Amino acid sequence: MKAKESHFDKIVRNGHVLILAMDQGMEHGPRDFNQKNINPEYVCDIASRGGFTGFALQKGVARHYKENYSGKVPLVLKLNGRTEIVPKDEAYSPQLATVKEAVDLGADAVGYTIYVGSPMEYQMFKEFGAIEREAHDYGLACVVWSYPRGKYVKDEKSPEMVAYAARVALEIGADVVKINYPGSIDAMKWVAASAGRCKVISAGGSKQPDAEFLQKVKDIMAGGGSGLAVGRNVWQNDNPMRITEEIKKIIFG
Ligand code: FBP
């Protein structure tokens, strides 16, 4: 079925992925922003001109700012979210939007966060199970933010835990899994092997100096990663278009 291929092929361009994420206003609150990038129009403009394969938004921003990005970058609608105010022990990210809303907003993919190992893991598996069936019926791609988190998880970023989270995403039917970088090329290779044919992309993390960040992107790719879902390292950068071009050279070049 052609339509099914085309949504996926927009998000995964020749096997590679570069998503600009702007759901941090929900996950971290306004503390991530300054006077310029607090305005979603500023980030929509970067997303529209940057040649990204996806733009990850919660539904409110996706709807209010549709005219600022629609038709210029594929939408990845985040279907769940939480604030950082709630303690991480019982880590849970409730579903806030439906696949139908994603379709109505013109999304090419849905995004869903699972806190692997959380006491609330079962609830997120259940929600994602239904989302995955429906999204794939519509031909949308499924991107899972898979983060080990909660009171049973000793070290969220240990290579073993990140590899487990990546494998879980493959098992539950994700097309793309977003992980936190496990710290080295070797660890990344094991994470990518664990995820099999599910494409592994890394979060950008908090803002780093350009050279350091670009080296991390090279290591992600050398470790078998398929790209990035990056936020702060692009729209907090003084020159977001220049860093985007540098990132693209590494991922697609
Ligand atoms: P960054 O590149 O800015 O780290 O964004 C990646 C991301 O996954 C966002 O999509 C999300 O808002 C945030 O990080 C979640 O971070 P965490 O739950 O680890 O605080």
Residue nearest to atom 5 of ligand 1 (CA): 231
- Structurally, how many domains does the chain consist of? 1
Distances, alpha carbon 39 to alpha carbons 6, 30, 42, 69, 79, in Å: 31, 11, 6, 14, 22
* pLDDT tens, residue by residue, 208-218: 999 999 999 99
Tokens of 3: 């339509």
> Which residue has the least CA distance to atom 4 on ligand 1?
205
**Catalytic pick from 59, 178, 199, 216?**
178
Q: Is 178 a catalytic residue?
A: yes
pLDDT in tens, 152-172: 999 999 999 999 999 999 999
- Contact 230 CB / ligand 1 (< 6 Å): yes
166 token code pair: 């990546």
| Residue ID of nearest Cα to ligand 1 atom 8 | 203
Report the CATH number at residue 196.
3.20.20.70
128-158 residue pLDDT tens: 999 999 999 999 999 999 999 999 999 999 9
User: Taking the model in full, what pTM does it have?
Assistant: 0.96
Tokens, residue 129: 């199970």
Cβ–Cβ under 8 Å, residues 157 and 180: yes
- Whether the predicted pLDDT of 58 surpasses 80: yes
pLDDT, position 2: 41
* 191: Cα within 13 Å, side-chain hemisphere: 36
Give backbone dihedrals phi and psi of 3, rounded to 5 degrees, phi first.
-60, -40
User: Is 201's C-beta closer than 6 angstroms to any atom of ligand 1?
Assistant: no
Give me the mean pLDDT over the 204-230 stretch: 98
Find the domain containing 108 and state its range: 2-252
